[in-house]
Amino acid sequence: MSFDPIPYDLLDAFKHFLSVFGSTMLIAIIVCFIVGVLTRGLKGVADVFSGILDFFVQMIHVSCRRVWSLSVLTIREALRQKILFVFIIFAVLFMFAGWFLAGAADRPDLQVQSYIDFVLKAISWLVIPIMLLLACWSLPEDIRLRTIHTVVTKPVYRIEIVMGRMLGFTLLGTAILVVMGGVGYIWINRQVPESAQYKLVSKVPVYGAISFTDREGASTAAGINVGDIWMYRSYIEGATKARAVYKFKGIDESDAINDKLVLQSSFEAFRTHKGNMGAGGILYQFIFVNDDKNLRVPSRPLINKEYSDNVLEINRKLKDDNAEGGTGAELDIFTDLVDKEGNLTVEVQCLEAGQLLGMARPDLFIRTPDHAFLSGYSKAVFGIWLPMVIVIMLGVTISCFVKGPVAILTTLTIVMVGFMSKEYMNELLSGQMQAAGAIEAWYRLITHMNSQTALPDGPVKVIIGIVDGGIINFLWLCQQIIPNFGIYSNMREYVIKGFDVSWDAALLPGIITAAAYILPCLIVSFYSLKLRELEAK
Amino acid sequence: MNKLTSKHRKLAYVMAIIVLLIPVIWLGMPSTGEEGSGGELAQLRVQHELGESTLGDVDPSSASMNFVLLGLRGIATNLLWMDANDYQKKKEWAKLRSTVDSIILLQPHYMKVWDFQGWNLAYNVSAEWDAVEDRYFWVKEGIKFLNEGVTRNERYPELDWKVGNLHGQKVGRSDEWRQFRNFYKVDPDAERYEGGPDPEINPERLDNYQVAKEKFLIANEKELKHKQHLQMRMLFRASPWHAQFDYANAMQREGKFGKQRTDAWAQGFKDWTTIFGREEFITPKGPIVLEWTEDDIKNLAGRDENITEADVRHWTNRYQDTSNYRFWRTRALSESETETIDAHKAIYDGEQLFRSGKFDEAKVQLEKGMALYALVLNKYPSLLSEDLAIEEGLQAVILWRYIHDLKGLQVPASFPLKPLWNKEQGRVPELENDLRRRYGIQ
């Protein structure tokens, strides 16, 4: 697995939202007051107050009936624009998908991943751009053609116009998504051969915390780095005291499948010599440790099959047959090996001298009873619905203050940056990526100065520092405002790899992120529409 | 101001369209498939073999993909290459494979893409997997990928050569060559292939080197029509015959010293001297043949008054050196002799006995093998110019000396391969390391 499902910190997210949203609002209000005072004097202050109040008044008086009517109008308008033609493209894609996906046909297990990936990507690449175009184009077009007059002349609040649009497009998008998701589900089930149907499940893993010991048995921050360019896994040396220690919290009988504890691992091997080539993998074993009772119970030696699911089912009753001090007594995993705090500690040991076994936190988990494939799949489709809603909100909001083509370009830019460059921005701003500022890089390029040489002191350095600082601050602002669409792509990864989509590591952050845009979008669109002369072309 | 009425303007537009259509049709009319049909561009395309169908099989999905992307093919390809690199880094093999397929849809006639990605799958991706069965699977993927490239690009002899090289060198010379060569005939996916080979790789259940030879022969055939840019022409064309030698040698490495192996060497000698040796290669001083007679020299020199017999001899000699022609000729000849077979067999048996811990018997066999091998080297001294021949003798001596060490015996002052041992001391440390790894000697 290439993703690390880290639980979402809701409180931290909320604090962050409050700080960004609160400070932005504060700055906006201060600017409004200053402009108000400068242009209208004290009356300006009163106007700003009444303007702020107006939003709350309209919000309180929002009528669900009116919003619903506007939503229905929005849907009708979209249908008249032949939105449902998208299904033709969808059908064509699925009819010919087999041509493009026959690559790993010899490995049905790998092929399943390609099918799921294709279906989810196809749906999101069709639905999101179309909803983006509709959301951005609709309001400016109504203003241009003055059809908006038929609405604004009725007793309707501006905020209701915005909400109606957002709700209408969301309902339409949801309907399209449900149909496509359903067809995609049937397609996957029909396409996956009988021999690989077992891969269509939603595994429910319980992950633990990982720590390491070195070859002498002392605690260490990480294992050995074997020089892999992807530093995702850390390695332990075989036939030494080096261990990876996994601590699983809150393990009890409900986590057993048919009275068995199921451990699933996907470690990576690194050989320093050929070793036994016929075995099919490196030997390793698990050791269940309960320090409270001074117990160390090893499993039988296991063969690590790389890039496959290595599943070990252990009867809950097992013998304490540790060669070093085992009593031979029968033990129960859930009563004897889980410690007083409910933790199950599992050590991983590589058994072959000169060979190394690499692992990361998600590489070992306790597999609890599986959910149906539909469970994970529907959550992944929900993971397309959420960014679609964000795109609709952004599109409608932006179209409230600019014309259609500009709104499309702006929203598209935000979506593309959110999908493709958010990680890059995060790395750049967090200092993980060592990079010079844009102007400094440009200066070094034209003066043929390498990145190790310090810039010469003087006004040039000062100017570059100031300008680059401004750019970085702007980038920081973009990072705060642009939604991280990457979290929604991650949901797809879960299903592709046969897992149920995690609630606290994927669904919750997805929902919270989408929810965080509702209020800012409503505020911005309300004031944009309020201040805009709808008669203007 | 324009004084034309709307009707006149429209008529003028129609006329202009018709006038412009004439050169467009003349230039761009598509070919009906018959020779000489189609517009000027279609005919030029046929003339210079630039048409999609003249390059190889047309994949409709590839053609439609390129059409749909309009001018964005380059950008899409770049993005896909970046994705492929990322997937490889993160060991997402299924995604890598499907991304590579997508790249190929966009660049079906770019030889380097097939070459690089075929090699990448067979060598790099294969090496990332731990189980030998899995590694073999990815070698097969590389071969299948390149096979696809060959059917889509009929004008690149390089691709056929690469396919031959994967069948030959990758399967037969990897660290896992023993297992790979077995899997080549009995695929590890027994359930799928019912105890036989993967029919896409080895439909006729041949040895990997025999298949390699077939592929190299196809490459040679194409090379007569389409120039290759891989290596010196003479070396390129020697590949099928080297595959034949490798086939014979592989049997020897596996301890098969029967008629099949001797016949393979005899066939190798025949191919080498009567086909490859008789082929004319162009040198700066005219054509030469590697297997020559005095008459050949006279004939070749007589074709051009500026070339002397000494020139022909000089360049023949140089080309023989470059292709190691004389060595392989002698080797193939010597391998048909009983003395040589016995020498190889005794050394091989000695190594196997050593492996199973029967040191006394191993010592006897090694001594016998060394004595016979010394006779072979005396008879064919040119064998001493090739690494494989030298190493076989040195390995026998190293094991034989090691047995003396183990038994606490004094190594005799004189032994059969002593001149070779003394002369090639520089190679000994590396060979000792190699043997340590192979036999687990501490």
Q: Residue A533 pLDDT > 80, yes or no?
A: no
**Within a domain: residue B244?**
yes
Long-range contacts of A474-482 (CB under 8 A, 24+ apart): A475/A425, A475/A428, A475/A429, A476/A429, A478/A417, A478/A425, A479/A422, A479/A425, A479/A426, A479/A429, A480/A20, A481/A20, A482/A414, A482/A417, A482/A418, A482/A422
Q: Give yes or no for residue A118 having a pLDDT over 70.
A: yes
- The answer on B50 and B100 residing in a single domain is no
Reported as half-sphere exposure (CB side, CA atoms, 13 A), residue A458 has a value of 4
Q: Tell me whether residues B179 and A278 touch, CB distance under 8 A.
A: yes
Report pLDDT digits (tens) over A288-301: 999 888 888 899 99
Distances (CA, A) of A99 to A388, B61, B96, B114: 28, 7, 17, 18
Whether residue A106 and residue B61 make contact (CB cut-off 8 A), yes or no, is no
Dihedral angle sign, alpha carbons of residues B65, B70, B72, B73: positive
Question: Is B284 within the bounds of a domain?
Answer: yes
Could you tell me where the DSSP H helices lie in A146-228? 149-152, 158-191
Tell me the three-class secondary structure of B89-139, residue by residue.
HCCCHHHHHHHHHHHHHHCCCCHHHHHHHHHHHHHHHHHHCCCHHHHHHHH
Last residue of a domain, one of B333, B355, B378: B333
Residues A56 and A73 in one domain: no
Q: Residues A90, A177: one domain?
A: yes
| Amino acid identity, position B235 | L
Residues A156 and A268 in one domain: no
Give the tens place of pLDDT for each residue, A389-437: 999 999 999 999 888 899 999 999 999 888 877 777 888 888 777 777 8
pLDDT digits (tens, 9 = 90+) for A224-258: 999 999 989 999 999 999 999 999 998 988 889 88
Which positions in chain B touch A107 (Cβ < 8 Å)? 94, 137
Residue A210 counted as domain residue: no
| Inside any domain, residue A129 | yes
Cβ distance of B92 and A2 shorter than 8 Å: yes
What are the pLDDT tens digits along chain B (442 aa)?
567 788 889 999 999 999 998 888 888 777 666 667 777 887 887 777 666 665 655 555 566 666 667 678 888 888 889 989 999 999 988 888 888 888 888 888 889 999 999 999 999 999 999 999 999 999 999 999 999 999 989 889 999 999 999 999 999 999 899 999 999 999 999 888 988 999 999 999 999 999 999 999 999 999 999 999 999 999 999 999 999 999 999 998 899 988 999 999 999 999 999 999 999 999 999 999 999 999 999 999 998 888 999 999 999 999 999 999 998 999 999 998 888 999 999 999 999 999 888 999 999 999 999 999 999 999 988 888 888 889 999 999 999 999 999 889 898 989 999 999 999 999 999 998 888 877 766 6
A125, A263: one domain: no
Establish if B1 belongs to a structural domain: no
User: Nearest 5°: CA angle at A462, between A456 and A467?
Assistant: 125
Smallest Cα distance from A324 to chain B, Å = 29
Domain-ending residue, one of B272, B306, B333 = B333
Find the Cα–Cα–Cα–Cα dihedral A39, A42, A45, A51, rounded to 10°. -80
Query: B270 and B198, same structural domain?
Result: yes
CA dihedral B280, B285, B291, B293 (to 10 degrees): 120
**What is the reported pLDDT for A304?**
94
Average pLDDT over residues A97-111: 60
Interface of B with A (CB under 8 A): 60-61, 89-95, 97-98, 100-102, 105, 129-134, 137, 140-141, 175-176, 179, 192, 437
Compare CB distances from A103 to B92, B98, B130 and report the shortest one's residue.
Answer: B98
Which of B356, B339, B341 has its CA nearest to residue B399?
B356
Average pLDDT over residues A206-219: 94
Based on the fold, state whether residues B48 and B90 are members of the same structural domain.
no
Q: Specify whether the CB–CB gap between B275 and B243 falls below 8 A.
A: no
Per-residue confidence band for A96, with pLDDT thresholds at 50, 70 and 90: low
pLDDT in tens, B300-340: 999 888 899 999 999 999 999 999 999 899 999 999 888 89
CA distance A139 to A145: 10
Question: Which pLDDT value is given to residue A270?
Answer: 94
Out of B97, B134, B175, the one facing A104 most closely (by C-beta) is: B97
CB A396 within 8 Å of CB A169: yes
Same domain flag for B285 and B342: no
Q: What CATH number has the domain bearing residue A272?
A: 2.60.120
Residue with tokens 């023949």: B316
B148 and B289 part of one domain: yes
User: What distances in angstroms separate CA B235 from CA A225, A366, B270, B325, one per listed residue?
Assistant: 42, 58, 18, 10
Banded model confidence at residue A138, pLDDT cuts 50, 70, 90:
confident
- Residues B16 and B437: their CA atoms lie apart, in Å, by 81
Domain hosting B405: range is: 338-439
> In chain A, how many domains are there?
3
Size (chain B), residues: 442
How many domains does the structure of chain B reveal? 3
Q: What's the whole-number average pLDDT of chain A?
A: 87
A507 CB contacts (<8 Å, ≥6 apart)? Answer: A379, A382, A383, A491, A501
The verdict on B169 and B204 lying in the same domain is yes
Q: What is the pLDDT of residues B231-242, one digit of tens each?
A: 999 999 999 999
Residues B215 and B287 both lie in one domain: yes
Within a domain: A40 = yes
CB contact under 8 A, B101 and A2: no
Separation of alpha carbons A288 and A331, rounded Å: 11
pLDDT-derived band at A101, boundaries 50, 70, 90: low
Print the domain residue range for A29: 10-61
Q: Are residues B267 and B356 in the same domain?
A: no
Give me the percent of chain A exceeding a pLDDT of 90: 40
Contact residues on chain A for B69, CB-CB shorter than 8 A: none
Tell me how far apart the alpha carbons of residues B278 and B272 are, in angstroms, rounded to a whole number.
Answer: 9
- Note whether residue B200 is domain-resident: yes
Same domain, A42 and A71: no
Pick the residue from chain B with its C-alpha nearest to A99. Answer: B61
Q: Which residue, of B276, B305, B333, is where some domain finishes?
A: B333
Integer Cα distance of B263 and B269 in angstroms: 10
| Chain segment B106-149, per-residue pLDDT in tens | 888 889 999 999 999 999 999 999 999 999 999 999 999 999 99
Say yes or no: A304 and A262 in one domain: yes
Q: Tell me: do A134 and A249 sit in the same domain.
A: no
pLDDT exceeding 70 applies to what percent of chain A?
A: 94
Interface residues on A facing B, Cβ-Cβ cutoff 8 A: 2, 96, 99-104, 106-107, 110-111, 113-114, 117, 229-230, 232, 268-269, 271, 273-274, 277-278, 280-282, 304-307
In a domain, B3, yes or no: no
Domain final residue, candidates A24, A46, A61: A61
Indicate the residue of A114, A230, A307 with minimum beta-carbon distance to B98: A114
Residue B280 tokens read as: 């004319």
DSSP A499: B
The answer to whether residues A124 and A93 touch, using CB atoms and an 8 Å cutoff, is: no
Residue A2 counted as domain residue? no
Based on the domain organization, do B266 and B404 belong to the same domain?
A: no
Residues B249 and B386 in one domain: no
Q: Do residues A345 and A245 lie in contact, with contact meaning Cβ atoms separated by under 8 Å? A: yes
Same domain, A319 and A420: no
Q: Which amino acid makes up residue B30?
A: P
Both A288 and A341 in one domain: the answer is yes
Which of residues A330, A359, A388 is at a domain's end? A359
Compute the average pLDDT of residues A177-190. 91
Whether B9 is covered by a domain: the verdict is: no
Residue A28's CB is within 10 A of a number of other CB atoms, namely 14
Q: Both B305 and B196 in a single domain?
A: yes
Scored b (16 or more CB within 10 A) or e, B214-223 reads: bbbbbbbebb
The most distant pair of C-alpha atoms in chain A lies apart, rounded to whole Å, by: 89
pLDDT value of position A375: 93
Name the DSSP letter for residue A250.
S
What is the percent of chain B with per-residue pLDDT over 90, rounded to a whole number? 63
For residue A505, what is the DSSP state?
A: I
The verdict on A332 and A355 lying in the same domain is: yes
Verify that B219 and B329 share a domain, yes or no: yes
In a domain, A453, yes or no: no
Q: For residue A537, what pLDDT is reported?
A: 45
Q: State the smallest CA–CA distance between residue A472 and chain B in angstroms.
A: 26
Average of pLDDT values for A13-21?
89
Looking at the structure, tell me whether residues A381 and A510 fall in a common domain. yes
Kindly give, in sequence order, each residue whose CB lies less than 8 Å from that of residue A358, ignoring residues fewer than 6 positions away. Answer: A223, A226, A228, A233, A234, A235, A236, A267, A268, A269, A270
Please say which residue of A337, A359, A381 terminates a domain: A359
Q: What residues of chain B lie within 8 A of the CB of A99, using their CB?
A: 60-61
A278 interaction partners in chain B (CB closer than 8 Å): 132, 179
For residues A154 and A33, membership in a common domain is answered with no
